[in-house]
Amino acid sequence: MPYDEALERFDPVLGLETHVELGTASKMFCGCPTEFGAAPNTQVCPVCLALPGSLPVANAEAIESTIRIGLALNCSIAEWCRFARKNYFYPDMPKNYQISQYDEPLCTDGYLDVVVDGRTVRIEIERVHLEEDTGKSTHVGGATGRIHGADYSIVDYNRAGIPLVEIVTKPIAGTDAMAPEVARAYATELREVMRSLGVSDVRMEEGSMRCDVNVSLMPRGSAEWGTRTETKNVNSLRSVERAVRGEIERQAAILADGGRIIQETRHFHEDTGRTTSGRSKEEAQDYRYFPEPDLLPIAPDRDWVASLKAALPELPSVRRARLKQEWGVSDLDMEAMHNADAIDLVEATVAAGAPAADARKWWMGELARRANEAGTALAELPITPGDVARVTELVASGALNDKLARQVLEGVLAGEGTPDDVVEKRGLQIVNDEGELSAIIDKVLADNSDAADKVRSGKVAAVGALVGGVMKASRGKADAARARELILEKLGVS
């Protein structure tokens, strides 16, 4: 069903569960390293392989990071809590259980504010808890390389036991047509909070941040929530938005047809933006949680928690408010920079000496266009904030105009060196030599005598064509304003 029609008939309710791998040097319960991309089963030991007689000991840094995340999300920090065993038989965990937290999470009842189209939406946080990541299975045989139809699987336990924080929202209702954008804005803001805390590299493409998206629909006017589905495998911010949208459309079509939604896990497909059914959850899962006997309870000291809270860095929303003020830009400009992931870049460019307006202009204009063309993130472009600051400086000093500046940026992106190198190699300086400029103008006036006569007879507007001719003849290197002055002077109308 088309999205607009779906929204006319139904009210979407969202829930987001986000897993974040902490950036600790060692695993959650053992000393194995946590490097991404290491050769299979090179970062495993008796503890994370669950060999007999091994015992886990909790990583102090991971506990601290989780509490800091909770504090940054305005949560209450438990005075006393325990780990729990989540029992299930599946080869991604060699123990046949995952150490997690159940009814005693470290952090509860917080919130995170996000801004969508200038409107602030408060996302309530249900809980933040700490657990261990699972191993990575590769399914062999069958047509699709997926678990269904596979002949067997092979497992790498390097990831098993990496500290994993799960952040769960309360149901998010009342966002209407904005639901997909709200989901994306939340994931974006959460990622930035993690970055500002320095607790994770939050790389969605490497799986160090993963979102599960719950969606249900209520018929308009109903107060009863619908059955929800949980979509996994959502590996980019854009996919979060697309997954919500796709699921709203899919569910609306089923409900409008008189069908019912099955409570199930669904898998998101990046190529189509659609979801397909995973295992059904109709049979209630029975993980037989119980307190983990191998690990002692956690009782964070209140003074310690207070000191962690006092030492929190400036949070992204506070920082954005400060920068908006310093840069003198509108809410919408700020939101645009935020959505383009340009704030860090603009800030660094300003720090390198550029005026904020110029820094914003180049990153959000020419460079955003280039990044878009190349299908890459702004920060991945091969140009530094220092380069951009230098270009703004060259423009401000009159050595370049905007057109030449764009060519300089193009040269830097093409790997031709620093802005000064590009100016030098491509000969991009504005023609400041009055004699050279004068010669060009004389030629242009001679070649365009009709236009010259019009200007002489008082039709000053015709000067534009002449200035254009000079710019063309100088291959864009003339100072247009100066050329105009000189032309008018030569034609005796100044």
Partner 1 sequence: MSAITRDEVAHLARLSRLALADEELDHFAAQLDQIVGAVARVAEVAADDIPPSSHALPLTNVFRPDEVRRSLTPEQALSGAPAVEDDRFRVPRILGEEA
Residues found near partner 1 in the complex (CB under 8 A): 24-26, 30-33, 39-46, 49, 51, 57-63, 80, 82, 87-91, 137-140, 147-148, 150-157, 279, 286, 288, 290-291, 293, 295-301
Least Å distance, CB 165 to partner 1, is 15
CB of 296 to partner 1, least distance (A): 5
Minimum CB–partner distance for residue 33 and partner 1 (Å): 5
Q: Which is nearer to partner 1, 157 or 362 (CB)?
A: 157
Integer Cα distance of 315 and 193 in angstroms = 6
- Do the beta carbons of residue 470 and residue 447 sit within 8 Å? no
Question: By CB neighbour count within 10 A (0-12 exposed, 13-18 middle, 19+ buried), where does 310 fall?
Answer: exposed
Q: Which is nearer to partner 1, 153 or 227 (CB)?
A: 153
The torsion of the CA quartet 346, 348, 353, 357, rounded to 10 degrees, works out to 10
Q: CA 26, CA 33: separation in Å to the nearest integer?
A: 5
Least distance from partner 1 to the Cβ atom of residue 243, Å: 23
110, burial (CB in 10 Å: exposed 0-12, middle 13-18, buried 19+): buried
Closest by Cα among 121, 210, 238 to 173: 121
Q: Cβ closer to partner 1: 47 or 114? A: 47
Cα R_g (the chain), whole angstroms: 30
DSSP H or E run through 462: none
In the bound state with partner 1, the residue whose beta carbon lies nearer, of 280 and 449, is 280
Q: In this complex, which beta carbon is closest to partner 1, that of residue 39 or of residue 223?
A: 39
Min dist. Cβ of residue 104 to partner 1 (A): 10
**Residue 117: CB minimum distance to partner 1, A:** 41
Cβ nearer to partner 1, comparing 163 with 180: 163
DSSP H/E element including 334: helix 331-339
Question: Whose Cβ is closer to partner 1: residue 203's or residue 288's?
Answer: 288
Residue 363 · residue 388 · CB < 8 Å:
yes
Of 486, 444, 479, give the one whose Cα is nearest residue 465: 444
From the CB of 266, what's the least distance to partner 1, in Å?
A: 15
CB of 173 to partner 1, least distance (A): 33
Taking the least distance from each CB to partner 1, the nearer of 62 and 478 is 62
Angstrom distance (rounded) from CA 128 to CA 197? 15
Using CB atoms within 10 A of its CB, is residue 491 exposed (0-12), middle (13-18) or buried (19+)?
buried
What letter represents residue 264's amino acid?
E
67 phi and psi angles, rounded to 5 deg: -65, -40
Half-sphere exposure of 25 (CA within 13 A, CB side): 2
Strand partners, 115: 120
Is the CB of 306 or the CB of 374 nearer to partner 1? 306
Residue found under tokens 């020419």: 366
Closest approach of partner 1 to the CB of residue 286, in Å: 6
User: At closest approach, how far in Å is the CB of 163 from partner 1?
Assistant: 9
Sign, CA dihedral 324-327-331-332, equals: negative
What CA–CA distance (Å, rounded) separates 130 from 433?
68
Provide the minimum distance between the beta carbon of 88 and partner 1 in the complex, in angstroms, as a whole number: 8
In angstroms, give the least distance from the CB of 281 to partner 1. 13
The smaller minimum CB distance to partner 1, of residues 50 and 352, is found at 50
Residue 174 vs 297, nearer CB to partner 1: 297
Which residues, other chains included, contact 488 with Cβ-Cβ below 8 Å and sequence gap of 6+?
455, 460, 463, 494
**Are residues 339 and 191 in contact, defined by beta-carbon separation less than 8 angstroms?**
no
Least Å distance, CB 109 to partner 1, is 22
How far CA 7 is from CA of 3, 106, 224, 265, 276, in Å, comes to 6, 37, 16, 23, 22
Pick the closer one to partner 1 by CB: 295 or 336.
Answer: 295
CA angle, 438 then 440 then 441, to 5°: 65
Question: What's CA 257's distance to the chain center, in Å?
Answer: 36
The smaller minimum CB distance to partner 1, of residues 60 and 223, is found at 60
What DSSP letter does each residue of 104-152 carry, written as one string? S-SEEEEEEEEEETTEEEEEEEEEEEEEE---EEEEESTTTSSSTT-SE
Distance CA 395, CA 353 (A): 13
